[in-house]
Structure 1
């Protein structure tokens, strides 16, 4: 357990966050094609190499999450990605879920797959150099907000329980294998729902997730929680102040996340980098006032890397400019959780 606690401490080092570069092969390929880049293994490798080799990345990024393909690839000089990350002071992580499938006898609810054979895969990933892992479970805000009943026909309730159970079994297997589990229950932003809907859904999800983690014997001191912020839906028309996002988010976390959890690394969930950073800053300012028990940081993906991909577009001559765009976004995200007082703007989801 001491090794796990040491890994957690490194992942949540002050002034740093986690970079999520773990899109599946299919998702990464679609993004490359939209950017005008052929979706080949070499181009996927070159893009991830661009991110990892950004000068000074270790100043802001303590961990980077790869997909299975990237973990097994190497930089052009032959250095495997996990070792290249370590050389830069960045811990290598691995996404281990295999995506979602429909949950039987529900109306559109999904469950995250990947538990079959996970113990063996975790042993392989650790041998390849990974120090932590990630599993993402997806929750619909409106469905989960109304999942408080006890009816066996309640699709939201059943979806929450199925996904929370999967997260807990994954986390237990990770700790058994000597890997820190990043537990990611994401209430997605899709929809036109009010922020209060996201708040209720997030509360329902977190309550069940931590009940299942406890049931599976997971040590809360050796996990990183990667939740959504409490925000309105992407099609919501009313702007929401970052201060309100902070108030509702911290209220929900205080009610359902044990103080033993060392860190909460928020996902961006489709927010632009400026939106995610404004909300993160407000959350940390309020957390400092209230003496929240956790370190609050970021584990952003698209919010950090979209500008880099749009700049690069497969052109080697654009690598330096793309890396500069990534570095600027990473620096802003890191600054957003250093408790620097600053007016909190109104942001749209």
Structure 2
């Protein structure tokens, strides 16, 4: 990579990790978002999907959101005002991103484990997405904790694929978000989560080095270190914060500018509280070597979808869903600075404007 190209990508990475901002992960595939829409009583068609996503892209989220990951369908769509979604975002200083992997596939010889599809066509697609206005991209690997998983083969294959993807993305002038997700499904405890996370992250970083990926133009999107969803022993936000920071310190070079956590099945409130605890502890311990922020999907969207459906049915005031989108983004922006205070927007009802309620958490809004 030429020095000029590297400098440009690092500038994008710096914008994505700006203090007090995070990333909206609105890159659900047609099938995934369809399940949520159908559960809410809506049809899964392009017009409905576009109208729903417009609630976020035109909600005035630029005060709290630095980038939005789009699905390939959305990257080419226009708003109801016939403004390209890419322009809706950039006018708010929100960088458009794109999901580039093609989903999971069974990993040969490893029952129940997966690798990720899409490397064969990745370069051509990345170049096309860049021409459409994307500035960064995301590739997801998923590893499951069980009695004998993840296997060493699964760890190695997924780490290598993530590094290959990152190198291709940077060659196509896109900042890569590397997502080695440790699935929350299972009954493992926080110690097992720590051990597996450390092994997975170390393998990923090693492969990034081997593939000559510019770490200063790369972001990491992991799950916070916590017990599995079915574990008998739960962990406090403080325990999650300590375990997560311990693993990051052991594995992630300070050259990587940002760790943008995924919410991975957490509730909206849990995701915010855990993120806030991580940042509070990092500040206390003077160990905030990276931006510690968010790249949430459902944890930024669940309440917005409910309100949007209510608006369509005439059971909520027009604009309330956009207000909620802005408020939840602001709550997580505050958490990324260790400045969150409750109650969470998702459990607030009535009263003052949600946007005004959470405006005070950011001094520059």
* TM-score normalised by L of structure 1: 0.92
1:151 is matched with which residue?
none
Q: Deviations over 1:134-187 (max 9, x none)?
A: 0010011236xx66xxxxxxx611011111111000000111111100111110
Distance 1:220 1:70 in 2: 28
Q: Cα offset for 1:314?
A: 7.6
What is the 5 A alignment of 1:1-349?
1-54=6-59, 56-142=60-146, 156-292=151-287, 293-313=289-309, 315-316=311-312, 318=316, 319-340=318-339
Range that drifts further, 305-314 or 4-13: 305-314
Q: Which stretches in structure 1 are left out of the alignment for 5+ residues?
A: 148-154, 344-349
Equivalent residues of 1:142, 1:197 under 8 A apart: no
Whether the 8 Å contact between 2:334 and 2:340 is mirrored in structure 1 is: no
The SS at the match of 2:33 is helix
**Do the aligned residues in 2 keep the contact of 1:142 with 1:198 (CA within 8 Å)?**
no
Q: CA offset at residue 239 of structure 1?
A: 2.9
Secondary structure of 2:27's match?
coil
Q: Secondary structure at the match of 2:151?
A: helix
Q: Secondary structure at the match of 2:212?
A: coil
Contact 2:240 2:278 in 1 (8 A): yes
Paired residues of 1:285 and 1:341 also in contact (CA < 8 A): no
Structure 2 unmatched ranges of 5 or more: 1-5, 343-365
Q: Counterpart of 2:272 in 1: which secondary structure? A: helix
Alpha-carbon distance between aligned partners in 1 of 2:175 and 2:52, rounded to the nearest angstrom: 26
Task: Compute the displacement of 1:58 (Å).
Answer: 0.5
Give the drift of 1:197: 1.4
Question: What SS does the corresponding residue of 1:142 show, helix, strand or coil?
Answer: coil
Q: Aligned-residue CA RMSD in angstroms?
A: 1.6
TM-score, normalization: structure 2?
Answer: 0.88
**Which range moved further: 308-317 or 211-220?**
308-317
String of CA shifts for 1:5-40, please: whole Å, max 9, x gaps: 110111111111000000001111111101111101
Partners of 1:51 and 1:340 in 2: CA distance: 23
Q: Which residue number in structure 1 is paired with residue 356 of structure 2?
A: none
1:315 Cα deviation from its structure 2 partner: 4.5
* CA deviation after TM superposition for structure 1 residue 289, in Å: 2.3
